[in-house]
Amino acid sequence: MKKSIDPVLSPFRDILVILFFFAGINPAFMISEPLYSPTWGFRMDLPEGYTYRDGNGTDRFSFSFEGRGGFDAAVYAGTAYPSLEVLTADVQKRLGNRGEIAFFEYRNKKAALLELAFETGDNRGNGEGASEGFSFEGWGLCVELEKGGENPGPSPPPWLVALAYGPAGKGELQNLHLSALDSIAPSDADRYAPGPITEFTYPRGGRITGKPAGLDLPVPLREFDAQGAQALVDREFVVLKSYGNTPLGKEAWARFYRAIYRDSFERLAGAAFALERYWNVPAWKEPADTGTTASTDTASADRALAEKALKWVQSFTYERDLLGSDFVNLVSAAFEGRGDCDSRALLWALILEQAHIPGAIMVSAEYKHAMGLADLPGAGARFPLGDTRWLVAETTAPVPLGRIRADVSEISRWMGIRFE
């Protein structure tokens, strides 16, 4: 791993002062996993292929993407920038940025989206003897963070500044930049909610009532949840396709599903809770004893919920879109009763997790199939993932929980995906 930084890829090295650190873990080994800052409480799940390029382990981190772009982030104390307007004006000035700024609110936090268009070196008119100039384009996000022990009292909140950029004229990188920024969760409460870029471009709208597919059950949702969820799917599919058959293809595939799961979790929270009540299964179940294992009654209730949810998604209309993302967003799947195997498996796992039952999915490029996974007791075929052997769920055929066809049962041809 290179420790030196390429000024072409990181034009902000003299501008940003990064004050966060990622749990003391070498970022080179974490880049394919979501990153977490215990100091400031935010997370980000960068697209595959970003490489840690620079930083001192405590106050500076910078990433490059295959020599074609970069991602930098910084946390500034509120005492340095008392308002978002002051912060963004300073970023604009230091970069010499010509792009516009749009201010908005993200989940009760002040935020701003910056269109990046700037030059470095000779392109900025630095005169004779300056280094060769480069033109950059991309997007930046400034968002308020929660106050913590580092920032007590009435002082302004800290700010996160994240910049995703690449050479000018590379339009194919725009979705990558937006995907990187949208993966940011400023606080733990935002971990399973639509990201800031999706919220900005597709506001959720007012509260309305809908009915899950095939059920006379009014449940709450938001006016534009389906449109926003599909826009996220379509953008992330474009990012996923760019990996093709590269060595990062499987990791990118897993991130694709993580992004969809995060975006849909809160959108479907009301529906998931209503379905639990409709199926007569309590939304929260405490173990009957004080040991580490739930009671038999609780385990039975968990399995009953999983079976009822499975029968429900099995009743959906099988649908594929080979000319598009080939994935029906989970809101449309739930309320319109349609989707392919992966839409149904992901929706089923999400419903289980809302009920505090560990859920996951398994996907196979060889079999061109996806199935649900649940950490439940009882008989049935199981798939090893982590330290757990997960019960499998076929979501496109009317078979019981724990059944899998023999012709798709080779474990080595499946990849398990968790959403913790």
Q: Where are the domains of the chain?
A: 27-124+132-201, 210-417
Give the CB-side neighbour count of residue 6, counting CA atoms within 13 A.
18
Q: How far is CA 188 from CA 26, 194, 369, in A?
A: 22, 13, 32
Q: Has residue 306 got a pLDDT over 80?
A: yes
pTM of the prediction? 0.88
Tell me what pLDDT residue 298 has: 78
Tokens of 312: 């429900």
Cα distance between residue 59 and residue 26, in whole Å: 13
pLDDT of residue 18 exceeding 50 = no
Q: Round to whole Å and give the CA distance between 174 and 352.
A: 35
pLDDT (mean) for 78-97: 93
Estimate to the nearest angstrom the gap between the alpha carbon of 135 and the chain centroid.
29
Q: What mean pLDDT do residues 11-18 have? A: 43
Q: Is the pLDDT of residue 147 over 90?
A: no
Asked if 156 and 82 count as a contact pair (C-beta separation under 8 A), the reply is yes
pLDDT band at 281 (very low <50, low <70, confident <90, very high): low
CA distance 351 to 348: 5
Selection from 197, 258, 254, 265 nearest residue 231 by Cα: 197
The predicted-structure confidence for 221-261, as pLDDT tens digits, reads as follows 999 999 999 999 999 999 999 999 899 999 999 999 999 99
- Measured distance between the N- and C-terminal CA atoms of the chain, rounded to whole angstroms: 28
What is the model's pLDDT at position 69? Answer: 86
CA atoms within 13 A on the CB side of 327: 27
Bridge partners of 62, per DSSP, are 54, 72
pLDDT bin (cut points 50, 70, 90) of residue 152 is low
Q: What's the CATH number for 27-124+132-201?
A: 3.40.1000.10
Query: Which tokens belong to 244?
Result: 């093709």
Q: Assign a CATH topology to domain 210-417.
A: C8orf32 fold (3.10.620)
What is the chain's Cα-based Rg? 23
CA distances from 321 to 228, 229, 316, 318, 327 (A): 18, 16, 15, 11, 7
Closest CA to 41 of 191, 162, 194: 191
Specify the DSSP element, H or E, that contains 20: none
Q: Where are the alpha helices (DSSP H) in 169-268?
A: 174-182, 196-201, 225-241, 249-265
pLDDT mean across residues, the chain:
85
Confidence grade of residue 23 (pLDDT, cut at 50, 70, 90):
very low
Q: Is 272 strand, coil or helix? A: helix
The distance of Cα 13 from the centroid of its chain, to the nearest Å, equals: 27
Q: Is the model's pLDDT at 186 over the cut of 90? A: yes
Chain mean position to CA 215: 30
Q: Answer yes or no: is pLDDT of 180 > 60.
A: yes
Residue 150 has pLDDT above 60, yes or no: no
- Taking only the tens place, the pLDDT of each residue in 347-400 is 999 999 999 999 999 999 999 999 999 999 999 999 999 999 999 999 999 999
